[in-house]
Each structure stands twice: as structure tokens, then as C-alpha cells.
């Protein structure tokens, strides 16, 4: 009885994972600009791969395989958003054009691509100050 339930849950996760991976692949092909493609690639594909790895974890009778599959899911969910953010930031910095149907560019006029700084909405720019940290200004011990 347990093995039948295990097989059904594993099959359901595998079907859901492959469907999400198919949706991600279609999204990468059909989306009009890099930012929307990146969204499809990072969200749907990481969920799809996570479901496939969880299907492996459920169907495996060995605890070592289950631990590795769960570790893979955690690693995937921790790294995919960071990689997606960095790719999007790099694309925006080099001036990749936005889709013509984009309604609003919230970073336009607020992001300096030469200095890589972001100014606030009120116009006050936040500059990175060297030698400062969470405890305030760092001073030389010799002074």
C-alpha cells in the first residue's frame, strides 16, 4: 500500500515538474525581451526541476538519495533568484532594450550605469562610502 502511494505521489510530482519545464521552455522562446525570458527561465524552470528532484526523493528507497535530492532542491531555490537578478542587472546596465509594450521602467532616471548607483525616488542619491560599515565609520588604529 505504501509503495502504491509513493508511486502515485512520485508520478504526480514528475508530471507537474515536466509540465513546468515545458512552460519554462515555451516562455523562453515566446517572451519578447530578455527580462521576461529571464523571469520564465528562473521561476518555472526552478519549480519544474524542483518537482522532478522531489519525485526522485519520494520514489527513492535510500535515505542518501533523498538527502541529495532535497539538498539539490534547496541549492536550486537559493541560487536561481540570485543568478536571475544578476543577469537582469547586467542586461539593464549594458542597455538591453525593453519590450515595446513595457508600460513603465521604474529604474529609468534612478540608476546610474556608469557608477552603478541607485538614487532614491526623492532624488537624493545614495553613494557608497568607503570605510563605513554597520558600526559606523572605521578609523585607523594608529591615529
pLDDT digits (tens, 9 = 90+) for 80-120: 989 998 888 888 888 788 888 877 777 777 777 677 777 76
- Per-residue pLDDT tens digits for 12-61: 999 999 999 999 999 999 998 888 888 888 899 999 999 999 999 999 87
Per-residue pLDDT, 121: 59
Backbone region of residue 123 per phi and psi (left: phi > 0; alpha: psi in -120 to 50; beta: other values): left
Q: Averaged over 59-79, what is the pLDDT?
A: 93
Listed in sequence order, the residues at least 6 apart from 85 whose beta carbon sits closer than 8 Å to its beta carbon are: none
Please, which pLDDT band fits residue 62 given cuts at 50, 70 and 90?
A: confident
Per-residue pLDDT, 53: 96
Per-residue pLDDT, 142: 46
Please, which pLDDT band fits residue 122 given cuts at 50, 70 and 90?
A: low
Listed in sequence order, the residues at least 6 apart from 99 whose beta carbon sits closer than 8 Å to its beta carbon are: 32, 33, 35, 36
Q: How many whole angstroms separate alpha carbon 135 and alpha carbon 109?
A: 31
Per-residue pLDDT, 94: 80
Amino acid at each position: 500500500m505504501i509503495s502504491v502511494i509513493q508511486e502515485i505521489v512520485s508520478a504526480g510530482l514528475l508530471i507537474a515538474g515536466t509540465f513546468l519545464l515545458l512552460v519554462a521552455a515555451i516562455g523562453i522562446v515566446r517572451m519578447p525581451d530578455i527580462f521576461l525570458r529571464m523571469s520564465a527561465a528562473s521561476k518555472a524552470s526552478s519549480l519544474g526541476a524542483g518537482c522532478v528532484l522531489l519525485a526522485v526523493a519520494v520514489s527513492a528507497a535510500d535515505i542518501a538519495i533523498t538527502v541529495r535530492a532535497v539538498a539539490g532542491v534547496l541549492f536550486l531555490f537559493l541560487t536561481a533568484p540570485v543568478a536571475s537578478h544578476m543577469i537582469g542587472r547586467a542586461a539593464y546596465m549594458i542597455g538591453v532594450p525593453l519590450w515595446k509594450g513595457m508600460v513603465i521602467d521604474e529604474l529609468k532616471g534612478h540608476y546610474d550605469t556608469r557608477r552603478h548607483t541607485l538614487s532614491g525616488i526623492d532624488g537624493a542619491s545614495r553613494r557608497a562610502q568607503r570605510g563605513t560599515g554597520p558600526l559606523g565609520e572605521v578609523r585607523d588604529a594608529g591615529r
